[in-house]
Amino acid sequence: MVKFEQVRSPHVSKFEQGIGLSDYRDSWENPVTIGDRSPVPRASFGRLFDKFESSGRSARMSERVMDMRVLQLGVGSVGEVSSRTMAPDPDVSCVVLADLDEKRLAEVAAKLPAGKVETLQLDATDKEALVKALSGVDLCFNALIPEYNPDIMLACLESGTNYLDMAAAGPRDIVGTADVDEEIAMDAEFKKKGLTALVFFGIDPGASDVFARALYDQFDTVERLTVLDGDNSSVDGVDFAPSFSPTTMVEECLILPPHAFENGTMIRRKSLSTTREFDFPAPVGKLKVWNVDHEEAQLMPMFLGDKGLRDADFFIALDDQWVNLLLTWRKLGFDHNKEIEFEGAHFRPLDLLVSRLPKSVDLIGRMHGAVCVGALADGTIAGKRVRRYMYQITSHDEAFRTMGVQGTGYQTGIPAACGALLLAKGIFSKPGVFAPEQIDPAPFLELMTEHGTPWGVVDLPLEA
């Protein structure tokens, strides 16, 4: 395998040394060569950054464009990472942290630069209070669970505030909450108000979609796009350990029929019905991955379909014991999110299962290993078949040592903050609702590297 990363001192953690991709462009290296994986020509990505720099936007990234005031809703692990990434930036004048939990607000606020943080106890479901809070800021940074997204977007339209979130909920016909299409459908309203909404800007969805767009731009034809998420971590004292919201993980893996773009048609598969192995770049390695429902399977065909795309999927690595547990839950008839009655008690089987799982916040400092998220493109460049994987790897141990969070929180929070910084720096300012596939990848990728989430690229052997 040949992989490419930013050149860095071996004595400095990648979380402590941010190297801009303007430097990266001129310093590709292939530190390890194993097997039949091939180097990616530096020129392939050089063209992407040449275009960015020739536009003049690269230079503007080092200039102060505006003093953006941000209202951040939610201060969980991801929210902590995002606020600690945004607040030190000179183009952000203040991050207003909003949550119901006053103690947690104080904890996170203490980690932000003095004079650049305020706190507000706020119930985001209180529309009047939310609109009032939004009226005094330039951007609403939504770090809450995605079920709240549509109502918060409507509040932004009422208050005249730009918006960013990290994922969608839904699908409505299964779980009763808004899916990808309902957020995208608000495009005309945001355009009419002259406001920008960046939607689904976490790691996956988010950076994974930007990787897909960057690869799409290099290829002459793209027949397949696959997002692959692999985590080789172990957890001290825990058998089943979701690295993100247990409720979301059970829903994605078991309850939701995965969207998939297959032979040019959008379909929905049965959950936990499609699996394969994938050899992730070191140190993650070969893992068994499963097709689950995720935003990218809808977004990539929507915005990256005009170079011959026939297939688009999302796969995530799942432990065999976890899969067996979920399949047993299905055999018991519990693969839904509806209430049932038992001896006079009413409850959701989903809630019962989740109650027996550790919360992701309780795993902080106990997870060891690394998580890799990336996009794989299959197509042609200059008439030759190419399989190219673009990815980001985060160490759980490094994330804990650096920010006191586990790797998934770190890996999600920084790309979301980078989306906000695109707005703060005036790099992206179009009115409307925009998915990650719709932005220029170069400035986003540069910000990811600068803030501690560098990425790599590798060409994989062609499939038989």
Helices (runs of H) and strands (runs of E) counted in the chain = 18, 20
**Does pLDDT of 401 surpass 70?**
yes
Name the band, by pLDDT with cuts 50, 70 and 90, for residue 176: confident
Is 248:336 a contact under the CB 8 Å cutoff?
no
For 147-175, the pLDDT digits (tens) are 999 999 999 999 999 999 999 998 888 88
Residue spans of alpha helices (H) in 283-433: 296-303, 320-331, 349-355, 396-403, 407-424
Token code pair at residue 453: 């989430």
Indicate whether this model's pTM tops 0.85: yes
Nearest alpha carbon to residue 292 among 335, 232, 339, 350: 335
Say what the pLDDT of residue 238 is: 77
Q: Which DSSP state fits 255?
A: I
Q: Rank 48-57, 217-226, 227-236, 313-322 by mean pLDDT and report only the highest.
A: 217-226
Say what the pLDDT of residue 228 is: 98
**Mean pLDDT, residues 410-422:** 98
| Mean pLDDT score across all residues of the chain | 87
Name the band, by pLDDT with cuts 50, 70 and 90, for residue 57: low
The CA-atom distances, in angstroms, between 50 and each of 28, 118, 213, 215, 439 are: 15, 39, 16, 16, 16
3-state class of 339 per DSSP? Answer: coil
For 426-461, the pLDDT digits (tens) are 999 999 999 999 999 999 999 999 999 999 999 999
Is 121:449 a contact under the CB 8 Å cutoff?
no
**Mean pLDDT, residues 400-416:** 95
Length of the chain: 464
Cis peptide before 205 (omega within 30 of 0): yes
For 106-145, the pLDDT digits (tens) are 999 999 999 999 999 999 999 999 999 999 999 999 999 9
For 183-210, the pLDDT digits (tens) are 999 999 999 999 999 999 999 999 999 9
Question: From the CA atom positions of the chain, what is the Rg in Å?
Answer: 21
The CA-atom distances, in angstroms, between 415 and each of 166, 310, 363, 421 are: 9, 28, 22, 10
Cα–Cα distance measured from residue 409 to residue 44, given in angstroms and rounded to the nearest whole number:
31
Q: Which residue has the higher pLDDT, 108 or 10?
A: 108
Q: Count CA atoms within 13 Å of residue 354 on its CB side.
A: 19
Q: Out of 3.40.640.10, 2.60.40.10, 3.90.1150.10, 3.30.360.10, which CATH number does the structure's domain 207-404 have?
A: 3.30.360.10
**Mean pLDDT, residues 362-388:** 94
For 325-339, the pLDDT digits (tens) are 999 999 999 999 899
Q: Which residue has the higher pLDDT, 378 or 61?
A: 378
Cα–Cα distance measured from residue 134 to residue 116, given in angstroms and rounded to the nearest whole number:
17
Please tell me the chain's helix, strand, coil percentages from 3-state DSSP, rounded to the nearest 5. Answer: 35, 25, 40
3-state class of 100 per DSSP? Answer: coil
Pairing of strands 68-73, 139-142: parallel
Say what the pLDDT of residue 18 is: 32
Token code pair at residue 259: 């969207």
